[in-house]
Amino acid sequence: MAASGATGSYHPKAFCSKTTDVASCLRVYPTLPDDVAKSQDNEQLYTRLYDYCGVKIYEASSLAESMIATTTAADPVIIATFFPQWKGDEAITTKTHPGKCLLSCNKTIGDVDAIQTCGNTYMEDRPPMIHQNLTVLFHGGHPLPLCKSGCPERSSSEGEAILATKFKYIWTLLDLLEAVLPEYLSETATGAKHKTTTPSPAAASTAP
């Protein structure tokens, strides 16, 4: 139970109750770095969770790009970056066709990275834009991306399975970030100086 009042306690895990997939959030929460999991206010939680999402998106993007580089979908720049030893015909004959999970995950990871970076706008201008885009992503009625709903499949490679697992983890992090943002933005919009002691009465009442 999240506490409030004179104790000034703050329970960021309570935000899991406001996500679209509470069970996944509760599974992922214990894996968060201590500085994220033990945040003391909404600003800390948003900032640290945002940074952690960025790290995980970068890791997944790097893996996807290295896998794409071995396929016929590879961009010459990617080949030169990851496989400088491949030249000319060797690069063409060595590559295979990409699986649909790899293509889906690579695209979707790019999409969520774009949500995070907001066209490389100033950091202080990003939260409202991120909130708007995450709201559409999680509450816009769109079907789940294949990387989240259908991967890995029977024909997926081991690498594709790892990539899909990484993306599902990122999806849960973004779901949590979307739950945090309304309260963080409400504080910054009003210019409130004090820190909220509990995510919200609704979230607090359902916190484990």
pLDDT band at 87, cuts 50/70/90?
A: low
- The pLDDT tens digits of the residues spanning 9-63 come to 899 999 999 999 999 999 999 999 999 999 999 999 999 999 999 999 999 999 9
154 versus 102: the higher-pLDDT residue is 102
pLDDT band at 200, cuts 50/70/90?
A: very low
| DSSP string across the chain | ----GGG----GGGGGGGSS-HHHHHHHGGGS-HHHHT--SHHHHHHHHHHHHHHHHHHHHHHHHHHHTTBTT--HHHHHHH-TT--THHHHHH-BPPPHHHHHHHHHHHHHHHHHHGGG--GGGHHHHHHHHHHHHHHS-PPPPHHHHT-S-TT--HHHHHHHHHHHHHHHHHHHHHHHHHHHHHHHHHT--SPPSSS-HHHHHH--
pTM (predicted TM-score): 0.78
